[in-house]
Amino acid sequence: MIVKTFKKVDEKIYKEKLDNGLEVYLYKTDKTKNFYITISVKYGARITKYKVGNRVVDVIPGSAHFLEHKVMALSENKEISKRINELGSLANAWTSYYGTNYNIFGSINLIENLKLLLDIFYNTNITEKAVNEEKGIIGEEIDMYKDQIDSLIYSKLFDNLFNKTYCKHTVVGEREDIEKITADSLNQIYKDYYVPNNTFIVVTGNFDIDEVMTTIKEYMNNIKVKPKELPKRIKEREKENVNIPYEEIKKDMENTRVKYAIKMKKNIFGIKDDNILKDYLGIIFSNNFSATSELFERYKDNDIILGMSYGINIVDDHLIIVINALTNDGNKFIESIKEDIKKLKITEEEFERKKKKYLKSYILDFDNIEDIEYLISLSLMMDNKIDYNEYDELVNLNYKEAQRIIKLINYDNTSIIRTIK
């Protein structure tokens, strides 16, 4: 077992990779009475097509999320469900573009909870009847998200920004997508991706590290799952230009929502680590578009916005920067932002001040066992590694590099989406 330490906060992670490829990450703390156990697979909604051996599979949008529902099918696994309840534990699951996470939060008998979670993960049996019954539930979930206007137009924006890439579809898919999903299609994905060398376990809380490690090894020895050749994700070739540069969505809403996005290749910045690139851009855009900026103050004073925020996203080879506005005058905002976004600036003093907020956020990540688990799982799903040196990297972010990055930003390739009454 390897021990790794996060700088500054002196928090430790115990890590081991089993013979079958499964990775285990353990974070022990005596500051809590609860524990959090998760098992994650690096398979999420961004896989729209893949090849395994000679077989090419087109994935129906919404499949990763649908599969999550059917793996975590407690109402169909009565015995497991009964036992989880008897232990007073809470079981849940989530799906993102990058991966799928199954979790149990509890306080009694960690070892039994761990075995139950492994049972859920490895004893999946998806039937056509169960898939059809689940369509009503997921349909309601899709409708719920569609009623959340910000989530709806965010999805539409990414659909417009890209020509073929995965984020043209939402993680949950559309009702017409899920109608096409069958037990066979889900079982195929399960067999291809839910394999030990594509999976990792994270346990956080107060527990005996050796006991947990031994339990996982024994369980794996008993079920004898072997590593398999991992499918190769087939990425669609994405065009450089945005797909749709402007769209209005008719919604009878009080305020206008506008999202102004720019799309560019991320390699123009020459920074290999996506997270460091996002840190620099986060500082730059925070300085120009958050409440500390002169522009925010001016937009507020001139009644251009009610609220404004920004987002930095990396989608495969592309960088997407989004400025979100809540406004009473969409036209005025669009006219203003088109010019103002090209005037990015930051002083050395501002740069150092912005870094302080990032350092606070890093330190506070270690206060809660669920946050720590999320930090580990997200890093493994998105980057395939955990960055134990993040504190030093944040400290070492430098002003000159930020200035260089500002000069390289390409403002020409834009997509705008807005609501109209």
Partner 1 sequence: MEYKKITNDNYTLHLINTNRFKSMNIVVFLTKKFNKDDIKYGNLLCKNMVYTSKKYNTKNKMATIGEELYGSNVSASFGITGKTESYVFSLDFLNPKYTDNIYLEKSIDFLCEILFNPNIKDNKFDSNYFNITKKETISNIKSLKDKPNLYARNEYSKLMYKGTETSYSTIPTLEEVEEITEESLYKEYTKLFNGEYKIDIAVYGEIESDIESIINKKFKNIKGNNNHLDIYINHKYNDEVIEKVDSLPFNQSKLYIGYRLKDLTSHEINHVLRVYNTILGTMNDSILFNIVREENSLCYSIGSYYSKYNPSLTIYAGINKVNYEKTVELIKECVTSMKDKKVLERLFNSAKKTINTYLNNYYDDLTSQINLYYQREFESLEDIELLREKINEVTIDEVIKLNDKISLSTIYLLKGDN
Name the residues that contact partner 1, by CB under 8 A. Answer: 8-9, 31-34, 74-75, 81-82, 84-91, 105-108, 133-141, 143-144, 146-147, 149, 252-255, 290-294, 296-297, 300-301, 303, 306-307, 326, 328, 353-354, 356-357, 359-361, 363-364, 366-369
**Min separation Cβ 296 and partner 1, Å:** 7
CA-nearest of 247, 164, 240, 236 to 415 is 247
Q: In 10 A of CB 231, how many CB atoms?
A: 21
**Min separation Cβ 363 and partner 1, Å:** 5
Closest CB to partner 1 among 69 and 266?
Answer: 69
Cβ–Cβ under 8 Å, residues 229 and 53: yes
**Min separation Cβ 22 and partner 1, Å:** 26
Closest CB to partner 1 among 149 and 230?
Answer: 149
**Min separation Cβ 173 and partner 1, Å:** 14
Closest CB to partner 1 among 29 and 243?
Answer: 29
Closest CB to partner 1 among 328 and 396?
Answer: 328
**Min separation Cβ 19 and partner 1, Å:** 34
Q: Can you tell me the distance from the alpha carbon of 5 to that of 388, in angstroms, rounded to the nearest whole number?
A: 7
**Min separation Cβ 139 and partner 1, Å:** 8
Cβ–Cβ under 8 Å, residues 46 and 164: no
Closest CB to partner 1 among 195 and 325?
Answer: 325
Question: Which amino acid does the sequence have at 324?
Answer: N
**Residue 21: which H helix or E strand, with range?**
none
**Residue 57: which H helix or E strand, with range?**
strand 55-58
CA-nearest of 2, 92, 13, 115 to 375 is 13
Q: Can you tell me the distance from the alpha carbon of 392 to that of 249, in angstroms, rounded to the nearest whole number?
A: 44
Closest CB to partner 1 among 318 and 354?
Answer: 354
Closest CB to partner 1 among 286 and 414?
Answer: 286
Cβ–Cβ under 8 Å, residues 277 and 397: no
CA-nearest of 36, 1, 6 to 17 is 1
**Min separation Cβ 5 and partner 1, Å:** 16
Strands (E), 219-341: 232-233, 246-250, 256-265, 307-315, 318-327
